[in-house]
Amino acid sequence: MKPNSTSAFSTRCIHVGQEADAVTGAINVPIYASSTYVQDELGKPRMGYEYARVSNPTRDHLEQNLASLESGVDAKVFASGMAATSAVMAMLKSGDHIICGDNVYGGVPRLFNQVLTGYGLEFSYVDTSDPRNVERAIRKQTKYCWLETPTNPLMTVSDIAAVARVCHKRGVELIVDNTFMSPYFQRPIELGADMVMHSTTKFLNGHSDGLGGVIVCTRKEQAEQLAFVQKSVGAILSPFECWLVLRGVKTLAVRMERHDRNGRAVAEYLNRHRKVKRVFYPGLVDHPQHELARRQMSGFGSMISFETGSLGNAKRMLKKSKGTLSLGESLGGVETLISHPATMTHAALGPKGRAAIGITDGMVRISVGIEEVEDIVRDLEVALAAI
């Protein structure tokens, strides 16, 4: 039986959109590295392919795969997560209003405030962990609510179903950034979201070797608009990077299980450590939204933030982060990555902006990899000893 939407998740990861090549029998989807396609006669392209910015077979396979994993009807991929974010905003017009969580990846408000306001879009930032804040922020001109859950880096959880009800009551579309959880642990469309965004760079790819972004749609009209943006604006995902994500997705289920197991163990270790002031991780029972996370997600993942107490402490710890702990931007790879939100992912917010949402100079974020957890804990012990 051909795998479809009723097949198990891990089966769809490996088989939906990843069928063997019909011509050669190649088990992996080929990389179609062609900028254009020969047409049999004027106006009759083979299988609809004319120009690679418009469509590409490798890209089509990836879009089919990711739509299936997020329970969507279609998906469109872009050159990065921010390109995907820009593309969905390109579907709006001057004067339209967007509600955004006040505690999201720093590149999002940078795009919204420093680029898109110049095109006449308007933005409001609220704490989306309380759906009433979203309801109060809705205007006649509101088109989207942009929700990130759990948030980067404070790991705040929002009730997707509750926010969706508030939005739909007023004709607003809910877009959820599901990068931190992946569709393995959280499927926002099944909870009422209208579109889902991922930086495919992260867990979907899983190997820190390619940039990408995706918007998964619930209606064909959304996908048609995004396809027009792909064609007109560009910033599409290259065939090679599409292939990298297809490769990565095949092991998504097994990787996420290991990420989650390691994440829980590292969070418990940090929560007991005398030099760690506070740990932000929904899997801990003392997390304020632990029960919501348990209901909404099937796992807690491997993203953890923790408070060292000062910039000096953070610097000393990060300088001693060696072995399995790689200091660098990004997340979601098989290797453990450790970073400093105030000077890396959220530097664009400025000191006042970070302080307003609770990001301190002493905060450290860790994307726990799939190494042996004992090795990760050992290396954290050495790094924390520098504080």
Furthest CA-CA distance within the chain:
73
> Which of the residues 143, 202, 354, 365 is marked catalytic?
202
> Which of the residues 49, 105, 125, 184 is marked catalytic?
105
Q: Tell me the DSSP string of 40-106.
A: EETTEEGGG--BTTT--HHHHHHHHHHHHHTT-SEEEEESSHHHHHHHHHTTS-TT-EEEEESSS-T
231 labelled catalytic: no
277 labelled catalytic: no
CA 294 – CA 367 distance, rounded (Å): 20
187, 231 contact by CB (below 8 A): no
163, 145 contact by CB (below 8 A): yes
For residue 240, give the H/E element and its range. helix 239-249
Q: Identify the residue whose tokens are 């994307």.
A: 367
Instruction: Report the Cα–Cα distance between both ends of the chain, in Å, rounded.
Output: 57
> Which of the residues 53, 110, 261, 320 is marked catalytic?
53
> Which of the residues 177, 260, 361, 379 is marked catalytic?
177
Gyration radius of the chain's alpha carbons: 21
105 labelled catalytic: yes
* Strands across the sheet containing 303-307: 278-280, 303-307, 363-367, 336-339, 325-327
CA 164 – CA 373 distance, rounded (Å): 37
CA 183 – CA 101 distance, rounded (Å): 20
53 labelled catalytic: yes
Tally Cβ neighbours within 10 Å of residue 95: 10
Q: Nearest 5 degrees, angle CA 47-CA 52-CA 53? A: 125
Catalytic machinery residues? 53, 105, 177, 202
